[in-house]
Structure 1
Amino acid sequence: MSILVTGGAGYIGSHISVELLNSNYDVIIIDNLCNSKIETIRRIKEITGKGLKFYHKDLLDQNSLDLLFQMNNIDAVIHLAGLKAVGESVQFPLMYYRKNIVSTMNLCEAMQTHNVKRLVFSSSATVYGAAARVPIQEDEIIQPTNPYGRTKAIIEQMLYDQYTSDKSWSIAILRYFNPIGAHASGLIGEDPKSIPNNLLPYISQVASGKLKKLNIYGRDYQTPDGTGIRDYLHVTDLAKGHLRALEKVMSSTGTDTYNLGTGNGYSVLDMILVFEKISGIPIPFQFVENRQGDVAISLASPEKSKIILGWAAEKGIEEMCRDAWHWELNNSSE
């Protein structure tokens, strides 16, 4: 069975590709490498001992996308390609709307043309915004507080509309909470090209000496220590969630939404303490102004994924930090 992974050279996409290959799927990756490196493709092959097809193309290039579908017998798509930084989306909203929404429209049109109607979509917990209930369930009101989250919410609605118009489609929408960690091999992990937007890579780069200190965005949230609380899950657990979702869309039709998280929350200061314990290195930090679009608490209710997909996160916070630190040590000179 051939699975197209858009954004498959990226942080999450590379881990999903590894899990797919290890489960004997044929993998086709399309990635424009704007947030990733070609070296990752080689490392995916090294980890799995298996080959894959790679296309260095952009989903905004409709002709190349159509040709890819013509040249390959694709059974389903896992769609991750897109921009993902909350702060950057506030600064450049039009870029986010174009690269996230228009690219998804192009992909769905190509899928429709070539009769590929099985899709797993990478959404985000940012669609919930400042949720009224915590832990957050999938029926919570959608009220994103930043352009990135709004692009995900718009795409979600577009996919529901597509299924309403053609009920032969099968779509799983996965709302990620906060993926961290790296593959146990240390060969693939989160590899930002500039100063990290996400907390754990930032902490890791401070520990390795790449950065002088951690900026903590805000200290006056309504949380026990004043810093934001997030639901962190290991990227390998997240990848396995995609395989369970893929099995679901291959065996039925319909559209449904699932949270992927642990249900456990950690503040920024909690994460610093855990990482210091794992690495043995103190993490200097300073408080700076809150980032526009951030919320105080984001915490998943993962029960629906457990019941319907048969998926639950397995790795704890110390293992997440340990694997992230292993990745940083293996790649800090690159």
Structure 2
Amino acid sequence: MIPIPEECPTGPESPYGKTKIFIEDILRDHTKANPQWNTALLRYFNPMGAHPSGLMGEDPLGIPNNLLPFLAQVAIGRREKLSVFGNDFPSRDGTPIRDYVHVVDLAKGHLAALEKLESVKKERETATEKPTKGFSREWNLGTGKGTTVLEVIKYFSDAVGRDLPYEITARRDGDVLDLTAKPTRANQELKWHAELTMKQACEDLWRWTTKNPYGYQQPPTESK
């Protein structure tokens, strides 16, 4: 199902995806057994960007596993080039499609979910019949728009002001063609919408990177 709704059957292809499903199952089971619990299961798609101030951003330890943090390190000179894993997918340019959502929009999604849980709590506390199990609900946090890897590279290159080096390599095991969210449930039930664009996210990430080329760490010192 593309775009992917919350009710889509889950079949994670990677250990990372499996851990997310396991955690959801644990929370659901705990919520069913504890009527006082109310649980929001937020399914992020691909977080991107940084705080617009340039004061807060992503600082991965070691080699970044995600596209944009790696690309930012290429742009600032910490990495030589980006590897694009496969260009033979049946997409508009041969590279995988993902739904990228600005971290500021994600933060607002958390607040919207907390407000929803508070509303549910009040409703359940005043209900005539006391609930026998807790409340649990899944919400997709995404834009509903898919962007290919090469398109992301172009957006970020535009933010930087120059073309960034990359090479096409073999596909990775477990990579799928398209992971685009259907955020309708969050739009309707949480009154949440992703508002910030890919262009804004890339500009915010580059601002963070130029202000903090080594993240929250001090740059390496030259040995004397």
What TM-score comes out, normalization by structure 1 length?
0.59
Gap runs ≥5 in structure 2: 122-134, 220-224
Q: Which one of 10, 16, 22 corresponds to residue 154 of structure 1? A: 22
What is the distance in 2 between the residues matched to 1:169 and 1:290? 42
1:5 is matched with none
Q: Which one of 202, 216, 221 corresponds to residue 84 of structure 2? A: 216
Does 1:225 find its partner at 2:93?
yes
Q: Which one of 106, 114, 138 corresponds to residue 257 of structure 1? A: 138
1:296 is matched with 177
Quote the offset at 1:288 in angstroms: 1.4
Q: Which one of 270, 284, 296 corresponds to residue 151 of structure 2? A: 270
Q: Count the aligned residue pairs.
A: 202
Q: Which one of 165, 169, 173 corresponds to residue 41 of structure 2? A: 173
CA distances 1:18-65 after superposition (whole Å, capped 9, x unpaired) = xxxxxxxxxxxxxxxxxxxxxxxxxxxxxxxxxxxxxxxxxxxxxxxx
Q: Which one of 9, 12, 15 corresponds to residue 141 of structure 1? A: 9
What SS is found at the alignment partner of 2:58? Answer: coil
What is the distance in 2 between the residues matched to 1:152 and 1:274? 29
Query: Relative to structure 2, which stretch is displaced further, 153-162 or 237-246?
Result: 153-162
Does 1:330 find its partner at 2:198?
no
More helix by share: 1
What TM-score comes out, normalization by structure 2 length?
0.87
Aligned-residue Cα RMSD (Å) equals: 1.1
CA distances 1:293-327 after superposition (whole Å, capped 9, x unpaired) = 22111000111001001111110110000000001
What is the distance in 2 between the residues matched to 1:166 and 1:231? 34
Quote the offset at 1:263 in angstroms: 0.6
What is the distance in 2 between the residues matched to 1:135 and 1:315? 19
What percentage of aligned pairs have identical amino acids? 47
What SS is found at the alignment partner of 1:192? Answer: coil
What SS is found at the alignment partner of 1:252? Answer: helix
What is the distance in 1 between the residues matched to 2:50 and 2:155? 16
What is the distance in 2 between the residues matched to 1:219 and 1:289? 8
CA distances 1:170-207 after superposition (whole Å, capped 9, x unpaired) = 00000000000000111111111111111011111111
What is the distance in 2 between the residues matched to 1:190 and 1:288? 25
What is the distance in 1 between the residues matched to 2:54 and 2:23? 33
Q: Which one of 56, 59, 62 corresponds to residue 191 of structure 1? A: 59
The structure with more radius of gyration: 2
What is the distance in 1 between the residues matched to 2:62 and 2:23? 27
What is the distance in 2 between the residues matched to 1:249 and 1:174? 12
The amino acid of 2:187's aligned partner reads K
CA distances 1:66-90 after superposition (whole Å, capped 9, x unpaired) = xxxxxxxxxxxxxxxxxxxxxxxxx
1:248 is matched with 116
What is the distance in 2 between the residues matched to 1:282 and 1:208? 13
What is the distance in 1 between the residues matched to 2:212 and 2:162? 17
